[in-house]
Amino acid sequence: MDIIRDQPKSKAKIILGVVVVVALVGASAALANLKPAAPSVERGTIYFDSVVRGEMIREVRGPGTLVPEDIRWITAVTAGRIEKIHHLAGVQVQAGTVLLELTNPDVQIQTLNADRQLTDAQAQLVTLRTNLENNRLNQASLVAQMRQEAADARRRAEAGAELLKKNLIVPLDQQQAHDRSESLIERLKLEEQRLLILSNTIADQIKVQEQQVERLQSISQFQHGLAASMVVKAGASGILQEVPLQVGQYALPGTTLAKVVPTPIRLKAVLRIPETQAKDLALGQKAMIDTRNGVAPGRIIRIDPASINGTVTVDVILDGPPPDGSRPDLSVDGVIELERLENVLHVGRPTIAQQNSPGTVFKLVDGGSHAERVQVKFGRTSVSRVEIVEGLNPGDIIIMSDMSQWDDVDRVKIK
């Protein structure tokens, strides 16, 4: 019988198979080496800025409040209970306007005691003057009497000496007359010294008592001042801005009873600048204060030497009248001009830009249809601008928005 034999495959089919296999392997390798497609970013969700060369103004920004340049704080001089409030905040007051009244019985008692002590001291001064003058007069009278007796004794001794020469008296009588004269002369000298001492000390004794009276007068005046201070007056013409206490509350010495802003009210801005941006601040630098109702120019007049809660307090005086609607404690924003940089390369400040540090930004390429990541070095920064030291050229357009979600890619497509 006949056996069917296999027909040999044609060479063309073999070659075709080999070509197909090679093509498949090459296509697989090419696909494996292809980079993933660039992610897309909606153009409306990001914003751009162009790199330019020219003047760049360095500025720092900080929030703050408007405060009066002059404030009269009225505090309690002595403790007392609020008995009556005559005026509330917001009214116009004069220097003698009574704002509120305090009561404290202890102050009244202390005032009466001070007056009594002063009266007693004054009476003692009168008595002292009278006694000292009487003592002086008594001593002067005694001296006069002793002077007369000494003179009589001297004359008797002299007469006795003459009689003794004529043997008209015995020597004993003459000796007794002479001794009596000498004794009275010595006593006269002592009494005269006593009168001199008494006369010289009168003024000192009176002065000591007068000083005591003056001290008690000062204490009495002080106590009367404490009593008078319980009737609280404005002390200056202006606007009563604050009365923090209510009737019946007890105020200790030093407690704020009222705050008066003298008129015309002159306002200044107190700004809080982040301490990382405050190193270049200086007195006299220009500032612009935004009150939401207008912008007012000003200049720095004080920089707090200490940092509090990460900010430095800066006082800015306004160069002109504040915008309409400005009032104390109004929230404002301030922008301070640090310096002007001439002929520098700068661009709008991206969210990741830090002063004098390297970074990366996305620069538009292919006519703006794509953006590629480029390395740049930032220089000095401002509120909204940053200096470009290297990595970009004038005319380059970069993405200003936060691109942190694309940190794992170097190219994005702009739709």
Residue 119 lies in a domain: yes
pTM above 0.75, yes or no: no
Residue 402 DSSP symbol: -
- Whether 204 and 164 map to the same domain: the answer is yes
- Whether 311 and 388 map to the same domain: the answer is yes
At residue 353 the predicted structure's pLDDT band, cuts being 50, 70 and 90, is: confident
The whole-angstrom separation of Cα 128 and Cα 186 is 31
pLDDT at 21: 67
- Whether 311 and 333 map to the same domain: the answer is yes
- Whether 201 and 218 map to the same domain: the answer is yes
Burial, 341: exposed, middle or buried (Cβ in 10 Å; 0-12, 13-18, 19+)?
A: middle
Give phi and psi for 81, each to the nearest 5: -95, 140
The overall average pLDDT reported for the chain is 86
- Whether 237 and 291 map to the same domain: the answer is no
- Whether 132 and 191 map to the same domain: the answer is yes
Q: Of 120, 114, 109, 107, which is closest to residue 218 (Cα–Cα)?
A: 114
Q: Which of 216, 247, 262 is the last residue of a domain?
A: 262
- Whether 290 and 370 map to the same domain: the answer is yes
> How is 171-186 classified by DSSP, letter by letter?
HHHHHHHHHHHHHHHH
- Whether 297 and 375 map to the same domain: the answer is yes
Distance of alpha carbon 293 from the chain centroid: 28
**Type of residue at 110:** Q
* Structural domain total, the chain: 3
pLDDT at 1: 45
Domain range spanning residue 146? 106-226
Residue 209 lies in a domain: yes
pLDDT at 352: 82
Average pLDDT rounded to a whole number, residues 102-109: 93
Tokens of 315: 């006082």
Residue 407 DSSP symbol: T
Residue-wise pLDDT tens digits, 368-380: 888 899 999 999 8
Average pLDDT rounded to a whole number, residues 13-19: 68
Average pLDDT rounded to a whole number, residues 22-50: 69
Of 9-18, 160-169, 223-232, where does the model show the most confidence? 223-232
Tokens of 72: 């009269």
Residue 327 DSSP symbol: -
- Whether 191 and 284 map to the same domain: the answer is no
Residue 375 lies in a domain: yes
pLDDT at 27: 56
pLDDT at 31: 45
CATH number at residue 244: 2.40.50.100
pLDDT at 303: 93
The whole-angstrom separation of Cα 185 and Cα 197 is 19
- Whether 397 and 363 map to the same domain: the answer is yes
The whole-angstrom separation of Cα 206 and Cα 364 is 100
- Please give the residue that has the higher pLDDT: either 389 or 24: 389
Give phi and psi for 192, each to the nearest 5: -65, -40
pLDDT at 214: 94
pLDDT at 32: 46
pLDDT at 34: 45
The whole-angstrom separation of Cα 135 and Cα 142 is 11
Burial, 269: exposed, middle or buried (Cβ in 10 Å; 0-12, 13-18, 19+)?
A: buried
Tokens of 287: 């500032």
CATH number at residue 310: 2.40.30.170
Residue-wise pLDDT tens digits, 142-199: 888 888 888 887 877 777 777 777 776 777 777 777 778 788 888 888 888 988 988 8
pLDDT at 120: 94
The residues, ordered by sequence, that sit 6+ positions from 119 with a Cβ below 8 Å of its Cβ are none
**Type of residue at 37:** A
Residue 197 lies in a domain: yes
Residue-wise pLDDT tens digits, 317-332: 998 888 888 888 899 9
- Whether 178 and 246 map to the same domain: the answer is no
Residue 85 lies in a domain: yes
pLDDT at 37: 64
Residue 17 lies in a domain: no
Judged against a pLDDT cut of 60, whether residue 7 lies above it is answered with no
Taken in order 226, 227, 232, 237, the sign of the CA dihedral is negative
Residue 34 lies in a domain: no
Judged against a pLDDT cut of 70, whether residue 269 lies above it is answered with yes
Residue 35 lies in a domain: no
Cβ atoms within 10 Å of 257's Cβ, excluding its own: 21
The whole-angstrom separation of Cα 111 and Cα 224 is 6
Give phi and psi for 18, each to the nearest 5: -60, -45
Taken in order 323, 324, 329, 330, the sign of the CA dihedral is negative
